[in-house]
Structure 1
């Protein structure tokens, strides 16, 4: 039996149908990967959330990262996005098996998260440049969810509470719904977005930075900044949250050459949606309240 972190076990079992059975079979799945690809799986030293991620070594001595998860649409679109990025600004996919939920990825060195940079302005500029490297036209046929698809989460919020908003601030929810409607109606040509681009998904590689864990989504570039503004986790301990958020928006608007107000509006709408997703995934007040607090800040930032 594997000694898996309790929070990882809880996340997998509560998020995925069949999650418990998948965890029970995980040792067998890792053994299958070793045999199929001729690799050696090492004990993990990564923080686990929805997938089991661990170092591994190929037969020729190449160090890689093995990522396995309960097969689901999000894991499949990650594989599709990685193939389209093809190592340009994003970690390179070496091989994958959609049906088994297995990804073999290049190992980034030194692989430190963007949070090692202590200056928030510098972190924000690095992240903005990482975004620009990723955005590219969508293929004619693809399976990526659209931003509109994701926005339907707010419909589920109302359904959950019989047309109301439950513990969520009614004014902020109404604002988010209105913004989604208006922004989608006025969006330009969609591109391939990362979909969850924040400080923990930007790693040091050589003398630069490389992105990991793309969700893959179809939407306008302005949508991409929302996840960055909700991170890192320590952000919500900052007494100057409003000033930090305003400064970040200024830097992002300037670096990306995207309208400041559009960035703010998308980020506000996403903050509410993200809070709902946390609630929907079984999170308690401590999981989603800070994000709603950021939504209120974004409402007040000029």
Structure 2
């Protein structure tokens, strides 16, 4: 008997995965509906509809036999699937979307649907403080026991981030942004990690990856996990959670909650901001002026104002 599928993946999802992975993802996108259907049959779930979101996976809404709504997620990259599930298992019981089922052979998992609906619920007041507390809680869980086998921040910084910054600086016409970029790049060799802060990092703390449950509490989803100094997550959250507002407030909250001094967070903020500025320049992203303002503000911070 043929397993019932939801049909072709949504056009938006297909476009994002092809943009992200290239034409090699086309065959997998044709197979993805059948992977989701096979997982649903295995776990006795009813598929409801696609949820058109994300750049590395195909996502569907499903219902368990007891009526519990779930997210069914199929990853294009088996390695990314394994890394995300490893991180979620490490953070079990924390402010995340719990992994209910996982099929290694399919690279598909059934995950908790935060707030009972796609996109979650509304946050309580004091969003910045609550999200900071959730990040700190995640880092605490990530330090329990033996660290899992995940990519290291040191390798990611040394072999991915710094080389791509250098390559884009050489290749792109930066115009009036060149002095700003050059100043930010001067700090790259000085980035250091504190081994005492090593934990499992979320490493993708954009606002869309922080949902709020029915009680208005933050739950962190869609990690791109690394193992390394917690300072990286705090810098990422400071810069990218919202490019238009409250960057200074997030930096203050990050330092207060993590107890990492602001002068230790800001060099990582600058490195992440210049990396983003160069990427947005390359793809002509409309967010380019926003990240340029963030980087300019970070560079304008004197040592005295960092304290």
TM class by smaller structure: 0.7 to 0.9
User: Which whole-Å CA distance do the structure 2 matches of 1:171 and 1:76 have between them?
Assistant: 41
Task: Confirm whether residue 196 of structure 1 aligns to residue 199 of structure 2.
Answer: no
Secondary structure at the residue paired with 1:286?
Answer: coil
Which stretches in structure 1 are left out of the alignment for 5+ residues?
none
Which position in structure 2 is the counterpart of 1:129?
A: 133
Q: What are the residue-to-residue correspondences of 1:132-281 with 2, within 5 Å? A: 132-135=136-139, 136-137=142-143, 140=146, 142-151=148-157, 152-159=160-167, 163=170, 166-167=173-174, 169-184=177-192, 188-207=196-215, 208-232=217-241, 235-236=243-244, 241=245, 244-276=246-278
Find 1:16's aligned residue among 15, 21, 25. Answer: 21
Asked if the contact 2:151–2:227 (Cα under 8 Å) also holds between the matched residues in 1, the reply is yes
Which stretches in structure 2 are left out of the alignment for 5+ residues?
1-6
Asked if the contact 1:114–1:123 (Cα under 8 Å) also holds between the matched residues in 2, the reply is no
Asked if the contact 1:278–1:287 (Cα under 8 Å) also holds between the matched residues in 2, the reply is yes
User: Which whole-Å CA distance do the structure 2 matches of 1:166 and 1:87 have between them?
Assistant: 47
Are residues 137 and 296 of structure 1, via their aligned partners in 2, closer, same or farther at CA, if it must alter by over 3 Å?
A: same
Backbone CA RMSD of aligned residues: 3.0
Asked if the contact 2:269–2:298 (Cα under 8 Å) also holds between the matched residues in 1, the reply is yes
Cα offset, 1:118, TM superposition: 8.6
Q: Which shifted more, 58-67 or 74-83?
A: 58-67
TM-score (norm 1): 0.81
Q: Deviations 1:218-247 (Å, cap 9, x if unpaired)? A: 1212211233234455x43xxxx5xx3223
User: Which whole-Å CA distance do the structure 1 matches of 2:29 and 2:37 have between them?
Assistant: 14
Secondary structure at the residue paired with 2:77?
Answer: coil
Which position in structure 1 is the counterpart of 2:299?
A: 299
Number of aligned residue pairs: 289
Secondary structure at the residue paired with 1:43?
Answer: strand
User: Which whole-Å CA distance do the structure 2 matches of 1:157 and 1:195 have between them?
Assistant: 18
